[in-house]
A = this chain, B = another copy of it.
Amino acid sequence: MAVLERTLMGPGPSNPYPEATAALSAPMLGHLDPAFLAILDETCDRLRSAWQTANARTLPLSGTGSAGMEAAFVNLVGPGDVVVVGVNGLFGERMCEVARRCGAEVVRAEAPWGRPLDPADVVAAHPSPKLIAVVHAETSTGVENDVAAVAAGKGDALVLADCVTSLAGIPVDLDAWGVDVAYSGTQKCVGVAPGLAPFTLSDRAWEQRVARPQSWYLDLGLVGEYVGGQGGRKYHHTAPVSMIRSLHAGLGVVLDEGLPSVWARHAECGRLLHEGLQSLGLELWVDADHRLPELTTVLVPAGVDASKVRAQLLDRFSIEIGAGVGPHVDRMWRIGCMGHTARPANVKLLLAALAEVLER
């Protein structure tokens, strides 16, 4: 059977960096093998570099980005804790649901989907929340929220940033911004297969953690005795060795290129894509000043069958783009240009294919 290759320009997974793919198939090592533990430690170091944080508690969790979200809430909030959540898309909504399942009192600070949160609204939503949570790059809408401004006004609260679609794609400067806890996914700008959740937690957040989280699997106190444990490793669960080696390799590519260059590459691809789409007469949903370069929402022209276009891109050109989310499923396409996919040649290919399918 022929091997199927895709140009992955949906909301993720993106095409992984080749080095990350190659690392997946390295001979297996035990999760307590000194050779693997050295790779794990270096992976945590590389995550610190990518996040721009000195947090000792920086590690890959053994689940997808959504497990990172759940880990943040179960470890930091319990029954009755007030959590302010910025909601302007699906992932803000999801944070509300996850926080509620921890028994938190959720206060929503909303903006319409497709528009950014107003940081002033978010910090004013409650006088003394334990946690303020915002999504940096809303994958459902293509909007960037101003995490730095929210963190600047946090007062005594902890600030949580969902960086699933921002880490290693657009500037993320956790410590300078004053973010206390953040998570990401591996399958977006990080350029690795889906399956891990990079996670980081400040000392300040650690001191305010839930003593015995309702999740055993995501209990950072227990996980931390294996990953980055000072003075001996204690078994918690078997680490996903191959995925961690792949993350190690993917982050190596990112850091070798250098974060500024990686950000510039994503920005350039976004610019080319946005200009190209507009040249085809297509309308972008998000205003330029809050529009993500790595995830673009495009309005489907009147009379065009959105899913048929996606199917044709897939069948004729082996290019994947995404549908809209929720009420926007047939009104919008979501075009990702992340990680290894973020190359001008891929943008040109997509624009040419789209022109042909749309007969423009």
Residues of A within 8 A of B (CB): 3-6, 8, 10, 12-16, 21-22, 24-33, 35, 62-67, 69-70, 94, 97-98, 101-102, 185, 187, 193-195, 212-217, 235-243, 314, 320, 325
**Is there contact, CB below 8 Å, between B64 and A238?**
yes
| Residues A21 and B25 in contact in the complex (CB < 8 Å), given A66-B217, A241-B13 | yes
**Is there contact, CB below 8 Å, between B194 and A24?**
no
| Residues A70 and B320 in contact in the complex (CB < 8 Å), given A6-B28, A24-B242, A194-B241 | no
**Is there contact, CB below 8 Å, between B242 and A193?**
yes
Number of copies: 2
Question: Which residue of B has the minimal Cβ distance to A98?
Answer: B216
Most B CB contacts (10 A, CB to CB) among A22, A69, A238, A314 go to A238
Contact of A214 among B3, B31, B69, B101 (CB under 8 A): B101
| Residues A12 and B238 in contact in the complex (CB < 8 Å), given A4-B27, A94-B216, A102-B214 | yes
Please indicate the chain B residues that have their CB under 8 angstroms from the CB of A65 in the complex.
237-238
Please indicate the chain B residues that have their CB under 8 angstroms from the CB of A215 in the complex.
70, 101, 214-215
**Is there contact, CB below 8 Å, between A195 and B6?**
no
Contact of A239 among B15, B102, B194 (CB under 8 A): B194
State in angstroms the CA–CA spacing of A3 and B187 once bound together: 26
